[in-house]
Amino acid sequence: MSAVTSPRPFSEPSPLARRLAAVVVVLYAAVAILPLAWIGATAFKSQADAIAYPPKIFFTPTLEGFVDLFTVQTHQSHDFIAKLPPPQTWYEKIARDRDMVIAGPSRVVERFLNSLIIGFGSTILATFLGTLAAYGFSRFRVPLADDLLFFILSTRMMPPIAVAVPIYMMYRWLGLYDTRIGMILLYTAVNVSLAVWLLKGFIDEIPREYEEAALVDGYTRLQAFRKVVLPQAVTGIAATAIFCLIFSWNEYAFNLLLTSSDAQTMPPFIPFIIGEGGQNWPAVAAATTLFLLPIVIFTIALRKHLLRGITFGAVRK
Partner 1 sequence: MNGTNATPTLVERMAIRTTAPAARRVRGLSDRSIAWLFILPTMALLLAINIFPLMWAIRLSFTGLMANLPAPARFIGIDNYVDILTDEDVWAAFQATAHFVFWTIALQVLIGLGLALLINQKFRGHSFWTTVILLPMMLSPAVVGNFWTLLFQPQIGPFNYVVSFFTGVAPSSFTMIGSVALAPWTIVLVNTWMWTPYVMLICLAGLRSIPDYIYEAAEVDRASPLRQFWSITLPMVLPFLMLAVLFQAIQSFVMFDMVNLLTSGGPGSTTETVSITLKRAAFEKWETGYASALAVILFVTIFGAANVYVRALNWVKQQ
What is the DSSP annotation of 191-209?
HHHHHHHHHHHHHHTS-HH
- Does 159 contact partner 1 by CB under 8 A? yes
Q: How far apart are CA 237 and CA 198, in angstroms?
A: 9
Question: Nearest Cα to 125, choosing from 191, 170, 197?
Answer: 191
Question: Nearest Cα to 248, choosing from 112, 161, 120?
Answer: 120
Q: Helix or strand or coil: residue 178? A: coil
Binding test (CB under 8 A) with partner 1, winner from 65, 119, 130, 236: 130
Q: How far is the CB of 138 from partner 1 (least distance, A)?
A: 10
- Does 277 contact partner 1 by CB under 8 A? no
Binding test (CB under 8 A) with partner 1, winner from 103, 109, 158, 274: 158
Interacting span for partner 1 (CB under 8 A) from 78-86, 101-109, 229-237, 260-268 = 260-268
Q: How far is the CB of 240 from partner 1 (least distance, A)?
A: 14
Q: How far is the CB of 37 from partner 1 (least distance, A)?
A: 10
- Does 275 contact partner 1 by CB under 8 A? no
* Identity at 264, one-letter amino acid code: Q
User: Whose Cβ is closer to partner 1: residue 92's or residue 188's?
Assistant: 188
- Does 44 contact partner 1 by CB under 8 A? no
Question: Nearest Cα to 195, choosing from 137, 145, 245, 241?
Answer: 241
Task: For the segment 219-258, give every residue that binds partner 1 (CB under 8 A).
Answer: 220-223, 246, 249-253, 256-257
- Does 54 contact partner 1 by CB under 8 A? yes
Q: How far apart are CA 239 and CA 235, in angstroms?
A: 6
Binding test (CB under 8 A) with partner 1, winner from 193, 240, 259, 280: 193
Task: For the segment 57-116, give every residue that binds partner 1 (CB under 8 A).
Answer: none
- Does 260 contact partner 1 by CB under 8 A? no
Query: CA of 84: how far to CAs of 26, 71, 90, 95, 101, in Å?
Result: 53, 19, 15, 13, 10
Interacting span for partner 1 (CB under 8 A) from 63-71, 74-82, 91-99, 168-176 = 168-176
Name 274's bridge partners: 279
- Does 48 contact partner 1 by CB under 8 A? no
Q: Do residues 260 and 172 make contact, with C-beta atoms less than 8 angstroms apart?
A: no
Task: For the segment 5-24, give every residue that binds partner 1 (CB under 8 A).
Answer: 5-6, 8-11, 13, 17-19, 21-22, 24
Number of residues that bind partner 1 (CB under 8 A): 113
Strand stretches in 141-249, DSSP E? none
